[in-house]
Amino acid sequence: MSSVLNTAVQSGVGFSQQVEAIRDVFSAEIWFAALPILKFDQFSTKKTELGVQPGRTIQLPRYGNIKRGGRLTEGVRLQTRAMSMSLQSVTVFENGNAIGFSEYLLQTSFYDQLAAASLLLGRDMAVVLDLQLRDSVLLGTNTVFGGGKAARTQLVAADVFDTQVVKDAVETLETSNAPKWAGDHYICFCHPHQGRGLRDDNDWINASLYAGATQIYTGEIGRYEDVRFITTTVMPNGANSALDPDTGDYVDIGYTPALAKGASGNLVTVYQAVMFGEYAFGHATAMPVELRDNGVEDFGREHGLAWYSIWGQNILEDSNIVVIETA
């Protein structure tokens, strides 16, 4: 990639021509840069419907159970059952971000500015998409609390993310007949602070021990009984309110003021995790991610690159999701 771009720059090809020549490759590279960061998207139910305008909806189908069958009787005709289907609406919106740089920097830098821009844009796109998918799955209304507590404001320091709260969440999903992934396991997203405690349990299995025989999910750290765990700092927590001096964003992507100690009656810093089965949340796309440039500005002295997409997310089946809150 870098050699292609460097050749284009060194040959004196104009910026807009460079972008046009490599647009498709760069759009793919944005996704390539995003793949190690994207964690929620690997579990979303996806549908692409090109051309849907921002603010409009894309429908994802949901099939209901059929009337139960049973033992057949000789001479009695087998009755057919009607299939029932409902549609879950997902509203799509414009999404994107842009980077600007000068013609002077493009021509004189020892570094490949376009390649660096695609990497940064890819990472940004991944964070945006994962945060939006996280927010969708956290719309689930079923919640269990550490230590068997009944509310967030009752949590104390001892109510940590342990095997008991994991079992409580599994019980909630199994009671509602939430389907397991591949009929074998549920998925649990948790903050690294929460995942650390589970690794000391005698029944914990590190992902490296079953990696050869089982496909490992992005970010997966291990398994406890019939739950496979993924850690990510995008999970909401009230721990670190420090701001990035460069961007003004929270350093901890998942920092949520309402979960901080002292906020709304919280006795401790609160961490959220979420466990779900199949068909829990969806991602609808009306325009796949692509690279865009803003043409020539300031008489060719300024340039800009952006990622742009039209997509949306929504919860699909509330009973397939359990939110977990612990100290």
Residue 73 in domain: no
Residue 245 in domain: yes
pLDDT digits (tens, 9 = 90+) for 243-274: 888 888 888 889 999 999 999 999 999 999 99
CB 105 within 8 A of CB 114: no
Report the distance separating Cα 249 and Cα 240, nearest Å.
12
Domains in the chain, number: 1
Whether residue 293 is predicted with pLDDT greater than 60 in this model: the reply is yes
Q: How confident is the model at residue 21 (pLDDT cuts 50, 70, 90)?
A: very low
- Unique residue bearing structure tokens 């647009």: 23
Whether residue 34 is predicted with pLDDT greater than 70 in this model: the reply is no
Residue 7 in domain: no
Residue 85 in domain: no
Nearest Cα neighbor of 35 from 300, 213, 217, 241 is: 217
Whether residue 108 is predicted with pLDDT greater than 80 in this model: the reply is no
CB 127 within 8 A of CB 37: yes
Element containing residue 60 per DSSP (H, E): strand 57-63
Joined tokens for residue 116: 């660096």
φ and ψ at 125, to 5 degrees? -60, -40
Report the distance separating Cα 228 and Cα 216, nearest Å.
10
Task: Specify the pTM.
Answer: 0.84
CB 279 within 8 A of CB 61: no
Residue 8, amino acid: A
Nearest Cα neighbor of 60 from 94, 95, 92 is: 92
Question: Which pLDDT score is estimated for 28?
Answer: 65
- Residue 195: CB atoms within 10 Å: 21
CB 311 within 8 A of CB 48: no
Question: What is the rounded average pLDDT for all residues in the chain?
Answer: 87
Q: Which residue has the higher pLDDT, 190 or 122?
A: 190
pLDDT digits (tens, 9 = 90+) for 143-187: 999 999 999 999 999 999 999 999 999 999 999 999 999 999 999
Question: Which pLDDT score is estimated for 252?
Answer: 84
Residue 303 in domain: no
- Residue 37: CB atoms within 10 Å: 19
Residue 298 in domain: no
Q: For residue 322, how many C-alpha atoms fall within 13 Å in the half-sphere facing its CB? A: 25
pLDDT digits (tens, 9 = 90+) for 41-83: 999 999 999 999 999 999 998 877 778 888 989 999 998 888 8
Report the distance separating Cα 40 and Cα 235, nearest Å.
11
Question: Which pLDDT score is estimated for 5?
Answer: 35
Domain range enclosing 269 = 137-282+318-326
Report the distance separating Cα 244 and Cα 96, nearest Å.
20
* 204-206 and 220-224 strand pairing: antiparallel
CB 165 within 8 A of CB 326: yes
Residue 268 in domain: yes
Joined tokens for residue 84: 């029932």
Question: Which pLDDT score is estimated for 256?
Answer: 95
Residue 305 in domain: no
Question: Which pLDDT score is estimated for 178?
Answer: 96
